Amino acid sequence: MPLDDNSSVPTVILINMILGILITILIELLLPIVTGLAVTLSLGEIRSKLDLLTQSFVYGQIIIYALFQPVFVFAILKDYRFSKAAILFGALLAVVVIALIALNLTRYRKDLLKTLKTKFSSPGMWGIAALVVLGILIVMSFIKAYYDGDDSYYVAAAAEGVNSDSMYKKEPYTGDPILSPYRYLFAPFPMWIAFISKLSGIKVAAVAHSFMPWCMILLTASVIYMLSGYLFKEDGKKRGLFMFLTLVLIMFGDYSIHTPENFLLARSRQGKAALASFVLPFMFFLIYGIIREFNDRKKVHPVRLLMVFLTGLAGSLGSTLGGVLCVSLVLTGSLCMFLTYRKFKYPFLMAVCSMPCLIFPVLYFVMR
């Protein structure tokens, strides 16, 4: 017996919601893993399947952010519609992902199959405790929607892209034509939220408040886990304890609206949260890895230097001055490396690779 129109409406809504959630998970979780797989395999720092997943997740997200930033800044300056900019970015991302998958299947296939055959190691007591804390953070960030005053701008700017197919043309507070968008257009993180919302069909506010937090928390936890691999190598007990203590500090770090923990847990839909909680710690991880590899092998893998360049672009997506902070961190690491080893080549290359992201704050100061 066919359902009448009224009774079929909830079913359609439920199906659309499930499809939207699956698409969001695909964009925010599976796509970065596939994208970053080639980088992970090329660096060869995989000790387990969990290393493979976390490293690929982080490297892939950095690559996606780095591609998104220049495409959308260019599109905004050229006065493109949001839909046109999304198509340009989607086409570029598709080409890059297909190329990386082909690289995995040709050059790194044996390494990938070898890693996939390894068993998951036991997380241990402290590892389980860390997973419990991580689960609490993710669940609470999903069910406890938190409003912040900046939402009036950032979420509204993302909604403009989806609803009006324009970018930074309207004043988010009033809806009037915007007079000077340059403060925000060089860090179009709201357009990333709009991009996910457009593809998934989920409302912008729901993506910003319910889906961005768990993705950002997982990215931050993955960077911490990667750093624990440098500090404690294959000592699973110490890595688990390190993860547990760090996540507990994050859980109780929301004592002020100005801490990185607050941005991560309560304001993760803002680009500043991605910069402070994810990009800058990952840049520190890259610098640590470069110095560590040079100390052991007297040379540095070119992919690490490429990731320094891409991470600078990713930092600029979160904030106009994010590139300045990334460059400052790299220059500090380069100086430490030079003073320690008295070698000029790799500190210089690190500094040079970080510099291109400065074009965005320079354009801001020129055009404002």
**CA 49/CA 364 separation, integer angstroms:** 43
Non-local CB neighbours of 363 within 8 Å, separated by 6+ positions = 186
293-322 pLDDT tens trace: 999 998 999 999 999 999 999 999 998 889
What type of residue is 85? A
**Distance in angstroms (rounded) separating the CA atoms of residues 208 and 197:** 9
* 261-288: average pLDDT: 89
Does the pLDDT value for residue 42 go beyond 50?
yes
The torsion of the CA quartet 141, 143, 149, 155, rounded to 10 degrees, works out to 90
Range in 121-135, 141-155, 277-291 the model is least confident about: 141-155
Question: Percentage helix, strand, coil, to 5, in the chain?
Answer: 80, 0, 20
CB distance 61 to 36 below 8 Å:
yes
Across the range 242-246, mean pLDDT stands at: 93
Is 35:102 a contact under the CB 8 Å cutoff?
A: no
Compute φ and ψ for 177, nearest 5 degrees.
-55, 135
Residue 357 tokens read as 């992201």
Under 8 Å between Cβ of 62 and 314: yes
Burial class of residue 37, CB neighbours in 10 A (0-12, 13-18, 19+): buried
Q: Is the pLDDT of residue 2 over 60?
A: no
Buried b (16+ CB within 10 A) or exposed e, 55-92: bbbbbbbbbbbbbbbbbbbebbeeebebeebbeebeee
Please name the amino acid found at residue 312.
G
Domain of 205 in residue numbering reads as 5-367
Extract the tokens encoding 326.
């990334």
Residue 352, pLDDT above cutoff 50: yes
Q: Helix, strand, or coil here: 235?
A: coil
Q: Is the pLDDT of residue 5 over 60?
A: no
The pLDDT assigned to 145 comes to 66
Better pLDDT: 123 or 208: 208
Domain count, the chain: 1
The pLDDT mean for the chain works out to 87
Cα→Cα distances 241→124, 137, 227, 253, Å: 9, 17, 13, 18
Least confident of 12-21, 87-96, 200-209, 343-352: 12-21
Q: Are residues 132 and 138 in contact, defined by beta-carbon separation less than 8 angstroms? A: no
Residue 166 and residue 160 in contact, taking contact as beta carbons nearer than 8 Å:
yes
Q: Which residues pair with 170 in a beta bridge?
A: 177
Residue 29: is its pLDDT beyond 70? Answer: yes
* Confidence tier at 8 by pLDDT (50, 70, 90): low
Q: Cα(26)–Cα(196) distance, rounded to whole angstroms?
A: 10
User: pLDDT tens, 63-115?
Assistant: 999 999 999 999 999 999 999 999 999 999 999 999 999 998 888 888 888 87
pLDDT, one tens digit per residue, over 185-199 is 899 999 999 999 999
**Amino acid identity of 131?**
L
10 Å CB burial of residue 205 (0-12, 13-18, 19+) is middle
State residue 227's pLDDT score. Answer: 93
